[in-house]
Structure 1
Amino acid sequence: MSGPDCIDINVATAEEIDAHPALKGHGFEIVRYREERGRYDALRQLEEVPGLTGKVAGLDGIVRFG
């Protein structure tokens, strides 16, 4: 799913991620995880990002994996 509020977390900077209200404050960790482990392929991978465990259920439609 994509839309004007949808963000590609495989290319977005930490600042771009933090600019999205649902992801505010998680940009650094999302980018760090991506740099250490590679591209995101599925929403479930965000569960492994510190601070997002148990909080990803509402993110489908907000993030995409381009």
Structure 2
Amino acid sequence: MIDINTASAEEIDAVPELQGHGFEVVRYRDERGRFDALRQLEEVPGLAGKIDGLEAVVRIG
């Protein structure tokens, strides 16, 4: 389980469902601030429609 608000790009890429998106998640977080809800990951380029099931491996801290 990773905290999407503190994880590095490498840690995010280690999650199979997010592999290849770590850089974009971190960039989005740096530009817009912390995530308040998992659904906000849908706004990250390349992740729209791909967050189903992530609540088992990602937490918002």
| TM norm structure 2 | 0.93
- 1:58, CA displacement in angstroms? 1.6
Alignment of 1:37-56 (within 5 A): 37-56=32-51
Aligned to 1:22: 17
Q: RMSD of aligned C-alpha atoms?
A: 0.7
Structure 1 segments of 4 or more deviating over 3 A? none
Give 1:61 shift: 1.6
Structure 1 gaps of 5+ residues are 1-5
Q: Is it true that 1:31 corresponds to 2:12 in the alignment? A: no
Number of corresponding residues: 61
Q: CA deviation at 1:40?
A: 0.5
Superposition deviation, residue 19 in structure 1: 1.2
Residue 9 of structure 1: aligned partner:
4
* Larger helix share, 1 or 2: 2
Larger Rg: 1
Correspondence 1:64 to 2:59: yes
Q: Which ranges in structure 2 are unaligned for 5 or more consecutive residues?
A: none
CA deviation after TM superposition for structure 1 residue 64, in Å: 0.5
